[in-house]
A = this chain, B = another copy of it.
């Protein structure tokens, strides 16, 4: 966690871009075996006759990779990325061979009235593949610390 940004460093419109992560079929299947064991996430052949018409990553896999990209390079907050919740959409499936990165924008900065040492920041993070398709759109409310005094 090499982040340096506190609440007072963020304002609406601030943008951040993460590094990239490539995803192959083996990773998609491994995640699915652990957490989302359905044919369209588990087996290239079986996936062909499903809604997805081919192997697709679990949406929760896309979400988890997005988190990794945000933590490692996509949103350099000093006290880490702590979400209380949000809205998530998967407009397009993530496929084997995709190379993902995350583009984030600060939408709102809300200092806490009751807790002067922190506030909430609303961030929209889009996870894009190498074609520029948005595979995931996530809007989260994050708990962000103010810079410590002194």
Tell me the A residues contacting B by CB distance below 8 Å: 1, 31, 34-40, 50-52, 58-60, 63-65, 67-68, 71-72, 79-90, 137, 143
- Partner of A90 from B64, B85, B89 at Cβ < 8 Å: B85
Chain B: minimal CB distance from A120 (Å) = 13
Contact B50 A80 (CB under 8 A): yes
Docked complex Cα distance between A82 and B58 (Å): 9
Docked complex Cα distance between A93 and B145 (Å): 19
Contact A82 B51 (CB under 8 A): yes
Docked complex Cα distance between A89 and B85 (Å): 4
Contact B89 A84 (CB under 8 A): yes
Contact A83 B87 (CB under 8 A): no
Contact A60 B63 (CB under 8 A): yes
Can you list 20 A-B contacts with CB-CB less than 8 angstroms, sorted by A residue number? A1-B37, A1-B38, A31-B64, A35-B65, A35-B68, A36-B67, A37-B68, A37-B71, A39-B80, A40-B82, A50-B79, A51-B80, A59-B85, A60-B60, A60-B64, A83-B90, A84-B89, A85-B90, A85-B137, A87-B87
